[in-house]
Amino acid sequence: MFDDIASFARIGISERSVYDHVHALARERNLTFSWDPAGDPIVNSGPDSMIGHGIPSENITIQPGHIFHVDLGLTKNGYSGDIQRSWYVGDEIPEDVAATFRGVSGAIQAASQVLRPGVLGHQVDQVARQYIIQAGFPEYQHALGHQVGRKAHDGGALLGPQWPRYGNTPNIPIRAGEIYTLELGVTIPGRGYLGLEEMVLVTESGCEWLMPPQREIMIL
């Protein structure tokens, strides 16, 4: 689906048009959405786009210099997915965009290396949190990841900090066979939100990617 999005999205296309295109493809392929379809997918282009769960705007269009970001959850055969991808709109990737991508991707990769059975959720989050801060970027204000299954947020352990709002969920041990997201992002002034989200399956000895992770910023 992300390849289809990249083929459709271009300069001058609105966030809402991308959203509508995804919904048309989902209907054709008998797919449903992992959360409220009114806000799935999340589509962001540029610095004026609302970050987080909201409705893509008809008034915000893809423009040169923007970060174009999509958070998409689709359900097939009763199981949900939750993936984020980011593109740079332009011919050559600026250093601020490249550096931000390295920080975000590096934090996710670092967390994946410690995610294994018996580790506590907050320990995984702490690795990514320290990585992104030491790379010179702001601390993200949410959990690094959540379980995915029948729903996009499927309960159980949370890969998050020991903040009061998360209760005991960051203290639950990870178990083999569970599926988690690893997600965070950074807002680049004047460009927009660069966010990544990957899905991993916990194995007996670590974890494995459920789909190839985004290793470099893509150009739109």
The pTM for the full model equals 0.95
Q: What's the pLDDT score for residue 124?
A: 98
CATH of 2-219, one of 1.10.10.10, 3.90.230.10, 3.40.190.10, 3.40.50.300: 3.90.230.10
Q: Is the pLDDT of residue 53 over 90?
A: no
For the chain, the average pLDDT equals 96
Q: Mean pLDDT, to the nearest integer, of 13-32?
A: 97
Q: How confident is the model at residue 135 (pLDDT cuts 50, 70, 90)?
A: very high
Q: Is the pLDDT of residue 101 over 90?
A: yes
Is residue 174 within 8 A of residue 204, CB to CB? The reply is: no
Q: Mean pLDDT, to the nearest integer, of 97-111?
A: 98
Nearest of 102, 170, 97 to residue 132 by alpha carbon: 102
Q: pLDDT for 147-197, tens place per residue?
A: 998 887 888 899 999 999 999 999 999 999 999 999 999 999 999 999 999
- Domains of the chain, by residue range, sit at 2-219
Buried b (16+ CB within 10 A) or exposed e, 21-49: bbeeebeeeebebbbeeebbbbbbbbbeb
Q: Mean pLDDT, to the nearest integer, of 108-122?
A: 98
Q: How confident is the model at residue 132 (pLDDT cuts 50, 70, 90)?
A: very high
59-62 long-range Cβ contacts below 8 angstroms, 24+ apart: 59/14, 60/14, 60/15, 61/11, 61/12, 61/13, 61/14, 61/15, 62/9, 62/10, 62/11, 62/12, 62/13, 62/14, 62/15, 62/89, 62/220
Q: What's the pLDDT score for residue 153?
A: 81
